[in-house]
Amino acid sequence: MDKKLLSPTYLKELCAQYRLTPSKQYGQNYLIQSSPIEKMVAAAEIDADDMIVEIGPGFGVLTFALLDSAQHVLAFEIEKKLQAYWDEHEKNHKNLKVIWGNALTTLPKYIEKDASYKLVANLPYQITSHVLRTMLELDNKPKCIVIMVQKEVAERMCAKKGDMSVLSVSVQYYSTPRIVTKVKAGSFWPAPKVDSAVISLTDIKKNTPEDEQFFQIVRAGFSSKRKQLVRNLVNTLHIPEEKVREVLMTVMNNDRVRAQELSVEDWKKVVCMLHD
């Protein structure tokens, strides 16, 4: 890790050198504490033969820590003003490849069908959900995902019955989420308005033919948060009300529940019984 990159003074100098003003659009808040970086690298359990995908390297405080541990780092950067900066560092780090453009559209093209890799990134807040959906729906998913996100989003991913959402159901359907550490807003320059958290997703499952039907029913169930689940499923999917109530009584012992009250395992049972 390059400790100079933890200094706001040095970061300001770099921004001036590359005519860069930290962008709210791209979520450019630079980490100035080493502890979260160390915890991210540890949580990813990086081996010397690992390939790491990073999104939004910025000036590279996480990137250089990854380069010290991994065989290869594939970093996706959208800020073209940094091209000269990274061109120079690519010359000195043979295990680094920087891809320019929007990771949401370019990333799938660079992940080989059978490649084994891990995603480790300090994600811009506004693309977190899009990145997760993209990565978790790929045919070739990462072995694990370790990302820094808005604290509230991390907590939503790990939600329990009663506070579930489409995001938490999706993340918990495909993986096992765990909050590694929480990170105060003051750990960044410039400081964002909210705190962050590092979250790891492990035990990532492969796609199955049942996934599409599962999420069709889940999305219908959450279509109107204020309504009972039976109403959402009947109105959206046109399933007979009597059948929906019977399934909910069997699974939940309550036909008046709302979508947020079901765990992933509850949803699996509901989907299976509705399909039958």
Q: How much is the pLDDT for 115?
A: 85
Which residues are CB-neighbours of 118 under 8 A, at least 6 positions away? 44, 46, 50, 51, 52, 53, 142, 143, 144, 145, 146
Whose tokens are 């996934």? That residue is 211
> Whole-prediction pTM value?
0.93
Q: How much is the pLDDT for 83?
A: 96
Give one word for 271, left, alpha or beta, with left for phi > 0 and alpha for psi -120 to 50: alpha
Distance of alpha carbon 125 from alpha carbon 99, whole angstroms: 20
Q: How much is the pLDDT for 25?
A: 60
* Residue-range domain boundaries for the chain: 3-202, 211-275
Q: How much is the pLDDT for 252?
A: 97
CATH number of 3-202: 3.40.50.150
Digit-coded pLDDT (tens) for 209-261: 999 999 999 999 999 988 999 999 999 999 999 999 999 999 999 999 999 99
Topology of 211-275 in CATH?
Helicase, Ruva Protein; domain 3 (1.10.8)
- Ranges of the chain with pLDDT below 50: none
Radius of gyration for the alpha carbons in the chain, expressed in angstroms and rounded? 21
Digit-coded pLDDT (tens) for 34-53: 999 999 999 999 999 999 99
Q: How much is the pLDDT for 27?
A: 64
The DSSP result for 164-190, as a single string, is --HHHHHHHHH-EEEEEEEE-GGGEES
Q: How much is the pLDDT for 70?
A: 95
Q: How much is the pLDDT for 26?
A: 61
